[in-house]
Amino acid sequence: MSSTKQSVTVIGLGPMGQAMVGAFLDRGYDVTVWNRTASRADALVARGAVLAPNVKDALASSELVILSLTDYDAVYATLEPASDALAGRILVNLSSDTPEKARAAARWAAERGAVQLTGGVTVPPSGIGQAESSTFYSGPREVFDRHRPALEVITGRTDHRGEDPGLAALLYQIGMVMFWTSMLSYWQAVALAGANGLTASDILPHAVETANSLPGFFSFYAGRIDAGEHMGDVDRLAMGMASVEHVLHTHADAGVDTALPAAVADLFRRGMDAGHAEDSFSSLVKLMTKAEA
- Can you tell me the distance from the alpha carbon of 197 to that of 203, in angstroms, rounded to the nearest whole number? 11
Q: Per-residue pLDDT for the chain (293 aa), expressed as one digit of tens each?
A: 334 459 999 999 999 999 999 999 999 999 999 999 999 999 999 999 999 999 999 999 999 999 999 999 999 999 999 999 999 999 999 999 999 999 999 999 999 999 999 999 999 999 999 999 999 999 999 999 999 999 999 999 999 999 999 999 999 999 999 999 999 999 999 999 999 999 999 999 999 999 999 999 999 999 999 999 999 999 999 999 999 999 999 999 999 999 999 999 999 999 999 999 999 999 999 999 987 65
Q: What is the pTM of this model?
A: 0.90
Query: What stretches of 27-98 show up as alpha helix (H) in DSSP?
Result: 42-47, 55-60, 72-79
Burial annotation 32-57 (CB, 10 A radius, 16+ → b, else e) = bbbbeeeebbeebeeeebbbbeebbb
What is the pairing mode between strands 50-51 and 64-67? unpaired
Cα–Cα distance for residue pair 94/66, rounded to 1 Å: 7
Residues 10 and 31 sit within 8 Å (Cβ to Cβ)? yes
| Helix H or strand E segment including 50 | strand 50-51
Q: How many other C-beta atoms lie within 10 A of the C-beta of residue 175?
A: 14
Name the 3-class secondary structure at 256: coil
Q: Which residues fall within 8 angstroms of residue 22, CB to CB, at 6 or more apart?
A: 44, 47, 128, 129
